[in-house]
Structure 1
Amino acid sequence: MDFTFTEAQDDLSGLTRTLLTDWAAKNTPDGTGFDRALWSAMVQAGIVEATLPAPVGGGFGLLEQCSVLTEIGRTAAAVPYLTSVAVAASMIATFGDDAQRQRWAAPVAQGKTTLAVALATEDDRFNATRTAYGWQVSGRHSAVPAAAFADGFLIEAHTTDGPLMLVLDRDIEGLHTSQQQVVDGTDAALLELGAVLVGAANVLGTPGDGGAQWAHRRATVAACAYQLGVVERALELTAEYALARKQFDKPIGAFQAVRQRLADAHLDVEAVRLTLWQAAWREAQGLPAEAEIATAKFWAAEAGHRVAHTMIHIHASIGIFLEYAVHRYFLAAKRTEFLFGAATEQLRTLASAITSTTRT
Structure 2
Amino acid sequence: MDFTFSEEQQAVVEAARAVFAAVAPDQVPSPALVPGAVADDLDRALWAKAAAADLLSLLIEPEYGGTGLDAIALCLALREAAAVLARIPLLEHSAAAAAVQAYGGKELRESLLPGAGRGEHVLTVASAGRTGHDAADLAVTARRATDAEGDGWVLDGVQTAVSWALNADRIVVPARTTAGAPVLAVLPGPAADLPGLHFAEQFSTTGERLAELRLDGVRLAPSDLIESPDAWPQLHALLTTGTCALALGLGERVLRMTSDYASQREQFGHPIATFQAVAVQAADRYIDLRAMEATLWQAAWRLSSGATGPLPLAGDVAVAKSWAADGVRRVAQTAQHLHGGFGADTDYPLHRYHAWAKHLELSLGPAAAHEELLGDLLAAHPLG
Band of TM-score, shorter chain: over 0.9
Q: Which runs of 5+ in 2 are unaligned?
A: 30-37
Aligned counterparts, 1:73-84, within 5 A: 73-84=82-93
Give the match's secondary structure for 1:58. coil
Calculate percent identity across the aligned residue pairs.
32
Aligned counterparts, 1:58-97, within 5 A: 58-85=67-94, 87-97=95-105
CA distance in structure 1 between the partners assigned to 2:217 and 2:371 by the alignment: 35
Partner of 1:162: 181
Runs of 4+ off more than 6 Å: none
Q: Which runs of 5+ in 1 are unaligned?
A: none
The code of the aligned residue for 1:184 comes to T
**Kindly tell me: are residues 138 and 27 of structure 1, through their superposed partners in 2, closer, same or farther at Cα, counting changes over 3 Å?**
same
Residue 23 of structure 1 and its aligned partner are, at CA, apart by 2.4
The code of the aligned residue for 2:227 comes to G
8 Å CA contact 2:26, 2:348 repeated in 1: no
Residue 18 of structure 1 and its aligned partner are, at CA, apart by 2.2
Aligned counterparts, 1:187-206, within 5 A: 187-206=209-228
Higher mean alpha-carbon deviation, 42-51 vs 274-283, is at 42-51
Q: 2:353 aligns with which of 329, 339, 342?
A: 329
Higher mean alpha-carbon deviation, 4-13 vs 122-131, is at 122-131
Residue 142 of structure 1 and its aligned partner are, at CA, apart by 1.3
8 Å CA contact 1:242, 1:253 repeated in 2: yes
Higher mean alpha-carbon deviation, 164-173 vs 218-227, is at 164-173
**What TM-score comes out, normalization by structure 2 length?**
0.88
Residue 59 of structure 1 and its aligned partner are, at CA, apart by 0.7
8 Å CA contact 1:55, 1:93 repeated in 2: no
CA distance in structure 2 between the partners assigned to 1:352 and 1:216 by the alignment: 19
Give the match's secondary structure for 1:4. coil
The code of the aligned residue for 1:122 comes to D
Partner of 1:151: 169
Cα deviations by residue, 1:33-89 (Å, 9 ceiling, x for unpaired): 61000000111122222442443311111111011000011111101101011x101
Give the match's secondary structure for 1:116. strand
Give the match's secondary structure for 2:203. coil
**Kindly tell me: are residues 47 and 213 of structure 1, through their superposed partners in 2, closer, same or farther at Cα, counting changes over 3 Å?**
same
8 Å CA contact 2:159, 2:212 repeated in 1: yes
Partner of 1:173: 195
Give the match's secondary structure for 2:20. helix
8 Å CA contact 2:82, 2:250 repeated in 1: yes
Give the match's secondary structure for 1:137. strand
1:108 equivalent in alignment to 2:130: no
Residue 129 of structure 1 and its aligned partner are, at CA, apart by 2.1
Aligned counterparts, 1:235-274, within 5 A: 235-274=255-294
Partner of 1:18: 18
The code of the aligned residue for 2:141 comes to N
Residue 340 of structure 1 and its aligned partner are, at CA, apart by 4.5
Q: 1:122 aligns with which of 124, 134, 139?
A: 134
8 Å CA contact 1:184, 1:331 repeated in 2: yes
Cα deviations by residue, 1:312-335 (Å, 9 ceiling, x for unpaired): 111112113232211121111111
Residue 25 of structure 1 and its aligned partner are, at CA, apart by 7.6
8 Å CA contact 2:25, 2:84 repeated in 1: no
1:276 equivalent in alignment to 2:284: no
8 Å CA contact 2:26, 2:347 repeated in 1: no
**Kindly tell me: are residues 359 and 13 of structure 1, through their superposed partners in 2, closer, same or farther at Cα, counting changes over 3 Å?**
farther
CA distance in structure 2 between the partners assigned to 1:112 and 1:261 by the alignment: 45
CA distance in structure 2 between the partners assigned to 1:191 and 1:12 by the alignment: 34
**What TM-score comes out, normalization by structure 1 length?**
0.94
